[in-house]
Structure 1
Amino acid sequence: MAFSAFVFVVAFCAASLIGVALVGEPVVWVFLAALVVAVLAVMSIHIAMQWEKVVVLRLGKFSRTKGPGLYFTIPFIDQIALSADQRVMVTGFGAEATLTSDLVPINVDAVLFWMVWDAEKAALEVENYYNSVNLAAQTALRDAIGRASASEVAVRRNQLDEELQEVIEDKTSQWGITVLSVEIRDIVIPESLQEVMSAEAQAEREKNARMVLAEVEKDISSMLVEAADQYKENEVALRLRTMHLLYESVKNTGGTVVIPSAYSEGFSDSTLDALTESLKKR
């Protein structure tokens, strides 16, 4: 608007000065002619911003794309079909109460990052490229949710982003639009289902914990069987192990241990001497 006003004022003043100089005096028709020239100048001289690409039609047919900067058109012959913004666009879209494959209604919010790379296709292949991209994204999101279960939608968020980007890109590439990325912002699952899924996840974790504990018990039992076989073949080792356990018990508790008379025979001097001699022979 500011540029058009500037062009209008400059063209009107220039045409008026030229007309007065040619006629020799200011008359009404000179100013009327200057007004017409100013209007034609506004219709002919345009400016496009750095991020804009302008599609120009001549007599209804595609002529050229212009911009950024200054460009010119022929009044009543050339028409500006589209001024495409080629910056990265951010569009929020969502799917409310969409049924998953297991018939669970969920709400999903997502963000689409895209840009126009071919202004000609964006002007000629689709009526309103901005609304079309938004609708295509919503449709792709609903289709993706309908093919997955509620748990898959909640867990496979990254895979869902990639799938949406591929599907939307396949549609919008025909319109001269490329999809940079799709990001799922929020997934809302009904509260009643959240409790059920939480209980299911807790049961699954408890199951895994029990399986791990069973594997550990199995390993421990195998080790005990092997140790029992070793002690069975070597009575000296068994007595030494018994003494070691007793020592550790007294050391950790700091108390005293009452040893039965029959059990204490294993700790007599004669017995210890026999153990020592046995160990030397080995």
Structure 2
Amino acid sequence: MNPISGLLFFVLIGAGALILGMGTAFGGLRLPLGGLLVVLGGLAPLALLMIDQWERVVVLRLGRFQGAKGPGLFWIIPFIDRVAVRIDQRIQTIAFGAEKALTKDTVPVDVDAVIFWQVHDPERAALEIADYRVAIAQVAQTSLRESIGSTPLTSLLSERKKVDEKLREEIGRKTAEWGVAVISVEIRDVAIPLSLQDAMSRQAQAEREREARVILGAAEKQVAQQFLEAADTYSKNPAALQLRAMNIIYETTKERGATILIPTAMVDAMNPGGVLGLVNSANPSSTPGAAPGPWGKTS
């Protein structure tokens, strides 16, 4: 009994009882009028119904569909009309799963998922199927197993969004006939056997090691190429070689308290003339007819 029909019940019953108890005030209409008010008061809770904003009720009149009523207050004819079912039109969820389902590459997995759905046609939800909640859960579980069986394990793990969308379309196509719209389907967890987890972990580690070695080899190749280019530059420009030698000595001696022993040959190498002599001795063809001396001078 809703508050409005309850209030109407007490008002009509009270008015009828008052008229019946007033003696000859209404004359011959006392009994009929008072009795009518009492009867109407007793029927008020059955005739005046109130439905919340998110609900709809399916009303049958003598067994035939009369309409989907609500929200708010509405009247029905007692004993002729009846409310067959109340339907909640808010978004609802059902958790479902598949245990020991085989993927396309015959890997057993346990999958947990959740479906978000909403009744958009109360008439069809009430008349087309006996229990749409149970039917949605069964269809969702069956569709999940079918999707797992047609999907490899790697795709099931890495392309979960695509699997979710495929499930939503498949389940929505089946439930549309019942007036139910599937908003989304989300896979929450995919559990695989422990032995397979260990094998996949070793495979991933091997892949990472292979990539690391490839990157290291590429880096060494780049370094070797840079060394070759530097050697070519030094061979063509002795001044660059001298500056590099001076930079090496500076970098070595810039720390305080360090004592560096430098061979005389290295000191002589700092002399531009010595550097040129070393370069010329390495390339005798650069000075035709001249034999290089021991100190870089022609004899």
* Inter-partner Cα distance in structure 2 for 1:246 and 1:100: 66
1:127 and 2:124 are equivalent in the alignment: no
1:258 and 2:261 are equivalent in the alignment: yes
1:149-228 correspondence runs (5 A): 149-228=152-231
* Inter-partner Cα distance in structure 2 for 1:22 and 1:183: 73
3-state SS of 2:104 partner: coil
* Inter-partner Cα distance in structure 2 for 1:155 and 1:253: 56
* Inter-partner Cα distance in structure 2 for 1:35 and 1:96: 61
Unaligned runs of 5+ in 1: 275-282
CA gap of 1:212–1:116, structure 2 versus 1, over 3 A, is same
Task: Kindly indicate which of the two structures has a greater share of residues assigned to helix.
Answer: 1
Query: Is the deviation greater in 108-117 or in 257-266?
Result: 257-266
CA gap of 1:109–1:273, structure 2 versus 1, over 3 A, is closer
Q: CA RMSD in A?
A: 3.3
* Inter-partner Cα distance in structure 2 for 1:103 and 1:161: 20
| Equivalent residue for 1:72, pick from 72, 75, 78 | 75
Name the residue aligned to 1:243: 246
1:115 and 2:118 are equivalent in the alignment: yes
* Inter-partner Cα distance in structure 2 for 1:214 and 1:248: 29
CA gap of 1:93–1:57, structure 2 versus 1, over 3 A, is same
Name the residue aligned to 2:50: 47
* Inter-partner Cα distance in structure 1 for 2:19 and 2:30: 11
- The structure with the larger Rg is 2
Q: Sequence identity, in percent?
A: 44
Contact residue 137 and residue 168 of structure 1 kept, 8 A: yes
| Equivalent residue for 1:136, pick from 122, 125, 139 | 139
3-state SS of 1:110 partner: strand
CA gap of 1:23–1:131, structure 2 versus 1, over 3 A, is farther
TM-score, normalisation: structure 1: 0.80
CA gap of 1:200–1:15, structure 2 versus 1, over 3 A, is farther
User: CA-to-partner distance for each residue in 1:231-251, whole Å, 9 max, x for gaps?
Assistant: 222223223212222321232
Corresponding letter in the other structure for 1:183: E
3-state SS of 1:54 partner: strand
Unaligned runs of 5+ in 2: 278-299
CA gap of 1:191–1:231, structure 2 versus 1, over 3 A, is same
Shift of 1:44: 2.9
User: CA-to-partner distance for each residue in 1:194-251, whole Å, 9 max, x for gaps?
Assistant: 2111111111122222222222222222222222221222223223212222321232
3-state SS of 2:130 partner: coil
Name the residue aligned to 1:83: 86
Contact residue 2 and residue 49 of structure 2 kept, 8 A: no
Name the residue aligned to 1:101: 104
TM-score, normalisation: structure 2: 0.76
